[in-house]
């Protein structure tokens, strides 16, 4: 298995509840290393662009509003098969379906306010990392 990178967001419901450290600890305990991190307030345009793949979904406008409702922490994570490792520790999209010990089971408020984002493929990880980070901001 190769060491790869994935992209993570600690969402506004988690930053609001002072869970940046708690979420990051769970990521690190799962074997992922934070190689880039910044706390930002996303603009509406940034959030719409990031979630463009979901633009036809009924929850799109609410999702964009939620993602700009407070600061987020965008991160690049590195580790063995990072996309899968991150998805595994995140848990299912809906916290009601998420396994015990996952971030969403532990912290998420709802299917929308579910505390974390994680890339779903190596290809999308690269696109998402490039959307938020310059190469020199990533220090492995």
| Candidate segments 40-48, 79-87, 102-110, 117-125, binder of Mg ion by CB under 5 A | 117-125
How far is it, in rounded angstroms, from Cα 37 to Cα 34? Answer: 7
- Under the phi-then-psi rule, with left for phi > 0, alpha for psi from -120 to 50, and beta for the rest, what region is 40? beta
Give the active site residue among 89, 108, 117, 119. 117
Is residue 66 within 8 A of residue 125, CB to CB? The reply is: no
Binding to ligand IDP (CB under 6 A): which residues in 83-112? 93, 111-112
**Active-site residue 54, yes or no?**
no
Tokens of 8: 């993570």
Tell me the pairing of strands 72-80 and 116-118: unpaired
Q: Which two tokens stand for residue 37?
A: 């991190």
Options 19, 95, 117, 125; binder of ligand IDP; rule CB under 6 A: 117
Distance, CA of 123 to CA of 68 (rounded, Å)? 25
Residues 118-137 interacting with Mg ion (rule: CB under 5 A): 120
59 binds, among Mg ion, ligand IDP, none (CB under 5 to 8 A by kind): ligand IDP
> By CB under 6 A, is residue 6 in contact with ligand IDP?
no
The helix (run of H) or strand (run of E) holding residue 23 is helix 20-29
Tell me if 114 contacts ligand IDP by CB under 6 A.
yes
**28 lies in the binding site for ligand IDP (CB under 6 A):** no
Q: Annotated active-site positions, please?
A: 117
Residue ranges in contact with ligand IDP by CB under 6 A: 54, 59, 63, 93, 111-112, 114, 117, 120
């Amino acid at each position: 298995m190769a060491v790869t990178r994935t992209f993570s967001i600690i969402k506004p419901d988690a930053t609001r509840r002072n869970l940046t450290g708690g979420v990051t600890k769970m990521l690190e305990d799962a074997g992922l290393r934070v190689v880039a991190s910044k706390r930002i307030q996303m603009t509406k345009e940034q959030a719409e662009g990031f979630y463009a793949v979901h633009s036809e979904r009924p929850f799109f406008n609410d999702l964009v509003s939620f993602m700009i409702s407070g600061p987020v922490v965008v991160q690049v994570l590195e580790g063995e098969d990072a996309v899968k490792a991150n998805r595994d520790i995140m848990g299912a999209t809906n916290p009601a379906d998420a396994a015990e010990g996952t971030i969403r089971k532990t912290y998420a408020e709802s299917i929308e306010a579910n505390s974390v984002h994680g890339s779903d493929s190596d290809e999308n990880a690269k696109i998402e990392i490039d959307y938020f980070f310059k190469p020199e901001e990533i220090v492995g």
